[in-house]
Amino acid sequence: MVDDIAGLLPRTREAVLAAGERILADFGAPRDVRRKGRIDLVTATDLAVEAFLTTELARILPEAAFLAEETAAQTVLSGLTWIIDPLDGTTNFAHGFPFVCTSVALYDGQTPLLGCVNAPILGQCFTAAAGQGAFLNDAPIHVSTTDSLEAALVATGFPYAIRENLDEIMTDVRAMLDATQGIRRPGSAALDLAYVAAGRFDAFYELALNPWDVAAGVLLVAEAGGRVGGYRPAVPYRLGDFRILASNGALHEGMLELLGENEESEEKEESLRQPGGIIPPGPP
């Protein structure tokens, strides 16, 4: 366990902000864009940012292991671990859409200790440390006070395995469009969660995400006064679970009811979950 979590956060933030300079430099002219899967992209920027962060974070906390998107293997999450998504929203980045970020979190097993989500194109850096609150560019943030689904702006995302989950996705989108003020799909789960923490979105849900997509955002929402859990089934969330729901708390039960329990099998969830709650990365 780390004794001074709050003391680690400024150094972590500094490293993530420095990594953001590479994203800024490459934005508008991404290099070496290639496919990891049918619609899953990786760029030279993803790889460069991840290499930079693993070097810098190892200096900050040498005893911690790494779970990073571009270099992860099937891994059990245990002990101190840096969890890194170097460029969340790579497809956005490749198309010049600015909703992209870097997400870095430090966990002890399944316990989040600190998190940083930096959106360099937007000039927004979200940070949190366990028990210390959540911040945007050093100003405190809090989840919204919206308590009506009709007044709620809800975010979601669509997984790379969209064909395999299309019926479920469309059923949920239909329910959200009918019952809420609106639904948004910006394309970066880490930023979606940060926006829930900042009260810009009232709730967020998605399926088939990997730990690096949500690790920092989960802590941001919790420290900003929100609630994070699973849905179908409505269980406490663990990194690697198939479905995640984050909300301002006031809307959580309503969102669960809206998403509803269906016959979408828990067998599917268990087949994707690995020991320690980690989903293996997608195809290379």
The pLDDT, as a whole number, for residue 271 is: 42
CATH of 149-272, picked from 2.60.120.260, 3.30.450.70, 3.30.565.10, 3.40.190.80, is 3.40.190.80
Q: Does residue 272 contact residue 26 with C-beta atoms inside 8 Å? A: no
Cα–Cα dist 137/120, whole Å: 11
Which amino acid is it at 93? F
pLDDT of residue 114: 98
213 known member of a binding site:
yes
pLDDT of residue 106: 97
Q: Is 253 annotated as a binding residue?
A: no
Nearest Cα residue to 166 out of 276, 267, 264: 264
Burial of 59 (C-beta count, 10 Å sphere; 0-12/13-18/19+): exposed
Angle between helices 166-179 and 252-259 (to 10 degrees): 130
Expressed in angstroms, the distance from the first to the final Cα of the chain is: 33
Quote the pLDDT of residue 269.
Answer: 44
Is 69 annotated as ligand-binding? yes
Query: What is the structure's pLDDT at 5?
Result: 83
Q: What pLDDT, on the 0 to 100 scale, is given for residue 264?
A: 45
Mean pLDDT of the chain: 88
pLDDT digits (tens, 9 = 90+) for 180-197: 999 999 999 999 999 999
Has 88 been labeled as part of a binding site? yes
Domain limits of the chain? 5-140, 149-272
Secondary element (H or E) of residue 166? helix 166-179
User: What integer pLDDT is reported at residue 256 of this predicted model?
Assistant: 97
Say what the pLDDT of residue 31 is.
Answer: 59
Can you say how many angstroms the Cα of residue 124 is from the centroid of all Cα atoms in its chain? 15
What is residue 140's predicted lDDT score, i.e. its pLDDT? 98
For the domain spanning 5-140, the CATH number is 3.30.540.10
All residue ranges of the chain with pLDDT < 70 are 1, 30-42, 72-76, 261-284
pLDDT digits (tens, 9 = 90+) for 210-223: 999 999 999 999 99
Q: How many CB atoms lie within 10 A of CB 15?
A: 21
Query: What is the pLDDT, as a whole number, of residue 261?
Result: 54
Enter the pTM of the model.
Answer: 0.89
Nearest C-alpha neighbor of 89 from the set 134, 141, 53, 45: 45
DSSP state of 165: G
| The pLDDT value given to residue 159 | 84
Note whether 100 and 88 are within 8 A (CB): yes
Per-residue confidence (pLDDT) for residue 40, from 0 to 100: 47
